[in-house]
Chain A
Amino acid sequence: MQLKRVAVTGMGAISPFGKGVDILMESLYKGASGVTMVPELKTIGGVRSHVAALVQGIEPGAIPRKHRRTMSKMSIYAVLACQEALTQACLPPECLFGGNMGIAIGSTVASIDTLQKFFEDYLVTKNMEQMRSTIFFQIMNHSCASNVSQALGIQGRVIAPSAACSTGCQAVGLGYEMIAFGKQEFMLCGGSDEFHPLATASFDIINAASVGYNERPSQTPRPFDRDRDGIVCGEGSGILLLESLESARRRGATIFTEIIGFSTTSNPKNIADPSAASMETCMKNALSDAGLKPQDVDYINAHATATIRGDIEECNAIHEIFGEHVPVSSLKGHLGHTMAASGSLELIATINMMKRNSIIPSLNLENPDNLCKNINLIQQMETRQIRYALKNSFALGGVNSSLILRKYENDK
């Protein structure tokens, strides 16, 4: 069976920097931080981390009430990001209908905020008479994917992969495979998440959240840095429109990149501990899927959330395969960890780096950890031709995913 080539022809982003890919890239290139101190976190007993990267400056009212009523913030982010991706792709409206377009959009969990509001009433009253009909649609696990399909009128496959921090990357990978196998002509793919203190608390309780920079929020997280102390939770949505290369060429679309390799694997040894060996397998499988050798890769956008152990494990895995020369950076220092959105948001940034031939350095990486010095960590903006890039996402629960991008050169 001849697999189809897969192109990225549209991108949309809702990030801690606001609405749109332009503001995302402008902020990343100027080394801005989306992390702020969140007063609410200071009021919660047992939560030591008071920082987060929250979405600013969006207008949910742009979505008609009939669709918005069933959305929590994560679905609103996803719909706005999808709209931007579709606009950028200049896709004729008829492409959305008739089943040619599918959706693979997931979140870490459904809306905890909506659940909290429900239980605040229910646990006091033991009564469900005040329950709105729209609550279920905000707490079902496929809330984002389903709300996007309803809001945009998409009739193809709707799947909602959920693999915590791997979700965005995995969703794009699944979309890539669906198009490669000819099951869908177009796929809107990515991850979306909304912030809730439970996310911060979940990392804090396992000593993986940043707790030492509450008064200096822009200085954390610190991927690969000697003084890193953990994750900063964030929110947002990153959406990519994928389509077959032949479709993109046929309609004269701008092709931003090709996706040529994907792997997702499990580390069953421990549900919480990162494993270099497992990460290595995932990256090797992605290289194999792409038909590439390690020396072909020009840039790696790391998962690197700034946990003590996770960054070291990823460095060791990268070193084992690629040695010490391939440039590596992480965008968590700018964006925090946007959870399910992180893989796809950072993928969008990677695609733009390939387009601009320049690598964004890891923010807050001032003194590389001795145990992370075995790879080429980028600390200054670096101009470089990026023909092939690799993107990693590794999740609690032991789910790894890696994607490989190829710059589209219209050459073959």
Chain B
Amino acid sequence: MTNDEIIRIINDSLIKEFELDGKKMVPEAILYENLELDSLDRVDMVIVLETAFKFKIREEKEIRDIRTLGDIHNFVINKIREIERIS
């Protein structure tokens, strides 16, 4: 899976789950301020990503540092590449 494909899956999943405006899905979008997500959404976002990519990330410490949509993109890409390396 290419990085672009991963980003597309992330964006599509979040748009569908949180009824987001596709025009706002830019890497620099801040989750709380620009996408108007909150603490409950953050919990559900993890479930959405786990479902979309069939991995487990709930216990990953880096999740707590995610601020922007770009942070999510990078986190997921890194996670998938790590899984690919191990396997």
**CB of B38 closer than 8 Å to a CB of A:** yes
CB contacts (< 8 Å) of B40 on chain A: these are: 69-70, 133-134
Complex CA–CA separation, A129 to B44 (angstroms)? 10
- The answer for the CA separation of A132 and B40 in the assembled complex, in Å, is 9
Question: In the docked arrangement, what's the CA distance between A202 and B56, Å?
Answer: 41
In the bound complex, do residue A129 and residue B38 qualify as a contact, i.e. CB atoms below 8 Å apart?
no
Q: Secondary structure of the B side of the interface?
A: helix
Shortest CB-to-CB span from A303 to chain B, Å, is: 40
Partner of B19, one of A65, A70, A133: A65
B47 within 8 A of A: yes
- The answer on a CB contact under 8 Å between B44 and A134 is yes
A133 touches B44 (CB 8 A): yes
Q: Within 8 Å of chain B (Cβ to Cβ): is A66?
A: yes
In the bound assembly, the distance between CA atoms of A132 and B18 in angstroms comes to 12
Let me know if B36 is at the binding interface, CB within 8 A: yes
Distance between A197 CB and nearest chain B CB, rounded to angstroms: 28
User: Are B50 and A129 in contact, with the CB atoms below 8 A?
Assistant: yes
A141 to chain B, nearest CB (A): 20
Chain B, 19-48, CB within 8 A of any chain A CB: 19, 36, 38, 40, 43-44, 47
Distance in angstroms from A344 CB to nearest chain B CB is 30
The answer to whether the Cβ of A130 comes within 8 Å of any Cβ in the partner chain is yes
Chain A residues in 8 Å Cβ range of B47: 129-132
Count of A-B contacts judged by CB separation below 8 Å: 20
Write the residues of chain A forming the contact surface with B, with a CB cutoff of 8 angstroms: 65-66, 69-70, 129-134
CB of A75 to closest CB in B, whole Å: 15
Q: A335: shortest Cβ distance to chain B, in Å?
A: 33
Q: Show the binding face of B for A, using Cβ within 8 Å.
A: 18-19, 36, 38, 40, 43-44, 47, 50-51, 56, 58
Residues of B within 8 A of A132 (CB): 44, 47
Q: How far is the CB of A130 from chain B (nearest CB, A)?
A: 6
Closest to A130 in B: B47
The interface residues of chain B lying within 8 Å CB-to-CB of A66 are: 36, 38
Residue in chain A with minimal CB distance to B38? A66
User: For residue B44, which residues in chain A have a CB less than 8 angstroms away from its CB?
Assistant: 132-134
Residues of chain A within 8 A of B58, CB atoms compared: 129
Docked pose: A9 CA to B3 CA in angstroms: 58
Q: How far is the CB of A232 from chain B (nearest CB, A)?
A: 35
Known interface pairs A70-B40, A134-B44; 6 further A-B residue pairs with C-beta atoms within 8 A, sorted by A's residue number: A65-B18, A69-B40, A129-B56, A132-B44, A132-B47, A134-B40
Task: Return the 3 tightest CB-CB contacts between A and B, nearest first.
Answer: A133-B43, A133-B40, A65-B19
Tell me, in angstroms, the Cα distance from A319 to B33 when the chains sit together. 64
| Contacting residues, chain B, for A65 (C-beta < 8 A) | 18-19
Q: How far is the CA of A131 from the CA of B43 in the complex (A)?
A: 10
For A70, what are the chain B residues with a Cβ–Cβ distance below 8 Å? 40
Q: How far is the CB of A265 from chain B (nearest CB, A)?
A: 41
B18 → chain A closest CB, angstroms: 7
Chain B residues with Cβ under 8 A from A133's Cβ?
40, 43-44
In the complex, which of the residues A70, A130, A133 has the most CB atoms of chain B within 10 Å of its own CB atom? A133
A129–B57 CA distance with the chains assembled, in angstroms: 11
Tell me, rounded to whole Å, the shortest Cβ–Cβ distance linking B69 to chain A.
Answer: 17
Give the distance in Å from the alpha carbon of A70 to the alpha carbon of B50 in the complex: 21
How near does chain B come to A80, taking the closest CB pair, in angstroms?
18
A-B contact pairs, 10 of them (CB 8 A): A66-B38, A69-B40, A70-B40, A129-B47, A129-B50, A129-B58, A130-B51, A132-B47, A133-B44, A134-B44
CB neighbours (8 Å) of A134 from chain B are 40, 44
B43 contacts across to A, CB distance below 8 A:
133
A-side contacts of B50, CB under 8 Å: 129
How far is B18's CA from A300's CA once the two chains are assembled, in angstroms? 48
A194 to B84, CA, bound (A): 47
